[in-house]
Amino acid sequence: MTERIVLAYSGGLDTSVAIGWIGEATGAEVIAVAVDVGQGGESLEDIRQRALACGAVEAYVADARDEFANDYAMPTLKANALYQGHYPLVSAISRPVIVKHLVKAAREFGATTVAHGCTGKGNDQVRFEVGIQTLGPDLKCIAPVRDLALTRDKAIAFAEAKGLPIETTKKNPYSIDQNVWGRAVETGYLEDIWNAPTKDIYDYTATPEFPPAPDEVIITFAQGVPVAIDGHKVSPLQAIQELNRRAGAQGVGRIDVVEDRLVGIKSREIYEAPGAMALITAHKHLEDITIEREQARFKAAVGQRWSELVYDGQWFSPLKRSLDAFIEDTQQYVSGDIRMTLHGGAAIVNGRRSDTSLYDFDLATYDTGDTFDQSQARGFIELWGMSSKVASTRDQRAAGK
């Protein structure tokens, strides 16, 4: 029986050429796997037909938009996950769901190897291969660009020689990855980190310098998940899409950062994540009134570690699974409404309400009706500062000798 290889297929030049390139290099049959995570563009059927026209023996396509929003974007939201304090893990959280479908297709079609289009310099090769090793330990992995010398110029020449039904002449200077959670742009002109991004880079967001009138939105959460916008029920996918539209129109969610890649180099990245950043902002403000102080402080550290694990391709790891359990427990009372104004590139929270809030007006007020017993403060301060006071006394005594 001829060996079979499943290929993560985008429908673009490189992965279209990879179908025949892998076949010639290995003698195996190629099954193309395309997963819709909200990246837009062509229909799955068009992508399926192109894969078959480029030589794939089978084409597996999956509409995973709701799955991605529910099972990958929502855990990211609950963690308030921002890698290095900036990046909402746009590409990092899409790779595990793609991996899940690659392994599923490998089982369905009897493949022994999984292929992806990543280079040897990026994070995605790690995310794909660690995920595949975890979900399918018996499966092998190859990367045509990295392992089979498939460079772009060779890809163009191969496509033209074979008459493949893909565009080969237009060269976008940027590397772009996108899904419903956001959009990532790198390489080209951006590799000089002194260069400011040009307007043509952006697609999900309008220019914030000339915004339309302020847009006020009320986001309703239930246990950390958005369930309504302005009183209208929404699914997680619909919530992200609606805020992509509304926050994007105000230029919210533009991120320009130099980040630390897992492979040891620094990389300049431009991200657009209007829906993600608006939702994370709202969610964090709701947590501020519903999560107890010490729990919230510890959760911030957990969220940072969670972000690093996911960025580093460890979505399926035991530690990430354990952190998920803690984060999920913290969301028990994260329910209520956040009122937010979107305008000029900013998402500003100006109202909060929750039936499970820990904010007590009578304790917080300085007006008549204050129930906070200020007479207890003096003794509290004495005890709170006791260890520092004792240490300071020791230090002064030692310095005087």
DSSP per residue, 76-98 = HHHTT--BTTTB--TTTTHHHHH
C-alpha to C-alpha distance for 377 and 165, rounded to whole angstroms:
76
The pLDDT of residue 163 = 85
- Concerning whether 66 is annotated as a catalytic residue, the answer is no
The pLDDT of residue 169 = 53
Q: One of 65, 95, 183, 246 is an active-site residue; which one?
A: 95
- Concerning whether 95 is annotated as a catalytic residue, the answer is yes
- Concerning whether 14 is annotated as a catalytic residue, the answer is yes
- Concerning whether 293 is annotated as a catalytic residue, the answer is no
Q: One of 124, 246, 267, 312 is an active-site residue; which one?
A: 124
Distance linking the first and last C-alpha atoms of the chain = 87
Please state, as a whole number, how many other Cβ atoms lie within 10 Å of the Cβ of residue 388. 9
**Cβ 183 vs Cβ 204: under 8 Å:** yes
**Which segments are annotated as binding site for ATP?**
8-16, 117
**Which segments are annotated as binding site for L-citrulline?**
87, 123, 127, 175, 259, 271
Q: Could you tell me the CA-to-CA distances from 60 to 39, 41, 205, 308, 401 in Å, in that order?
A: 17, 18, 32, 31, 80
The pLDDT of residue 14 = 86
- Hey, what are 368's tokens? 């008549």
Give the chain's length: 401
Q: Could you tell me the CA-to-CA distances from 79 to 95, 114, 310, 328 in Å, in that order?
A: 18, 30, 11, 9
C-alpha to C-alpha distance for 4 and 54, rounded to whole angstroms:
16
- Hey, what are 14's tokens? 């490189």
- pLDDT by position in tens, the chain (length 401): 789 999 999 988 889 999 999 999 999 999 999 999 999 888 999 999 999 999 999 999 999 999 999 999 999 999 999 999 999 999 999 999 999 999 999 999 999 999 998 888 889 999 999 999 999 999 999 998 888 888 878 888 888 888 888 775 555 667 889 999 999 998 888 999 999 999 999 999 999 998 999 999 999 999 999 999 999 999 999 999 999 999 999 999 999 999 999 989 999 999 999 999 999 999 999 999 999 999 999 999 999 999 999 999 999 999 999 999 999 999 999 999 999 999 999 999 999 999 999 998 888 888 877 888 888 999 999 999 999 999 999 999 999 86
Q: Could you tell me the CA-to-CA distances from 157 to 16, 53, 232, 326 in Å, in that order?
A: 13, 17, 52, 52
**Which segments are annotated as binding site for L-aspartate?**
119, 123-124
DSSP per residue, 144-178 = HHHHS---HHHHHHHHHHHT-SS--S---SSEEEE
The pLDDT of residue 368 = 79
Backbone φ and ψ for 83, nearest 5 degrees, come out as: -65, 130
Q: Is the dihedral of CA 151, 157, 163, 166 positive or negative?
A: positive
The pLDDT of residue 171 = 59
C-alpha to C-alpha distance for 212 and 246, rounded to whole angstroms:
11
Q: One of 175, 235, 354, 357 is an active-site residue; which one?
A: 175
Structural domains present in the chain: 4-171 (3.40.50.620), 176-291+334-353 (3.90.1260.10), 361-399 (1.20.5.470)
Q: Could you tell me the CA-to-CA distances from 395 to 28, 354, 389 in Å, in that order?
A: 74, 48, 10
